[in-house]
Amino acid sequence: MSYFNDPIEFRQPVTFTGDAAAAGAIIQYASKAFLLASITAGTLTFTNGTDIPANAIIHGAYIKTTTAPTFGGTTTGLNAKIGTAADDDGYGQAISIASTAGIKIPEPGARRGVINTTQDVVVAFTATGGAASLAEVTAGAGTVYIAYSLAPV
């Protein structure tokens, strides 16, 4: 076995074999951008087997807002949670994505670390404050990131 303590730069795709690949130890990220239309529709979906691999183990999720949401009417805030149709906060509990742009990391949900065999990962947007309505969100954009690894086969 060889050990390297020097940084290595890869300029082409790399395939790992042996213990690291067998253990599924490599964390990968799936990302999907959202715009105002996604927010007002109420959901953003990562399709299982297309946007994320089938049988992936979801380790966590976070949201990076690039355009802070703004509001009209009586709506004053916007939350997002990350889960599935059966458990809407299974990977990330509700977190405010309003105010300033930047990274928002939700508290983990009960499905974190579970093999996701068949379910899509769904990001649900919810307006808060006053007579809250997603129709009163006037701006907002960002990207949702899902951290996963593949189970050993």
Residues 75-117 have pLDDT tens digits of: 999 999 999 999 999 999 999 999 889 999 999 999 988 888 8
Residue-wise pLDDT tens digits, 36-86: 999 999 999 999 999 999 889 999 999 999 999 999 999 999 999 999 999
State the pLDDT at residue 101: 93
* CA 144 vs CA 18, 23, 85: distances in Å: 31, 26, 17
State the pLDDT at residue 61: 94
Beta-bridge partners for 95: 80
This prediction's pTM: 0.82
**Contact criterion met (CB below 8 Å) for 46 and 140:** no
Out of 16-25, 114-123, 125-134, least confident range: 16-25
Q: How many helices (H) and strands (E) does the chain have?
A: 2, 9
State the pLDDT at residue 12: 83
Between CA 142 and CA 80 the distance in angstroms is 12
Residue-wise pLDDT tens digits, 3-28: 666 777 888 887 766 665 555 468 99
- Could you tell me which residues come within 8 angstroms of residue 3 by beta carbon, excluding any fewer than 6 positions away? none
Beta-bridge partners for 43: 124
State the pLDDT at residue 122: 96
State the pLDDT at residue 14: 77
DSSP letter at 32?
A: E
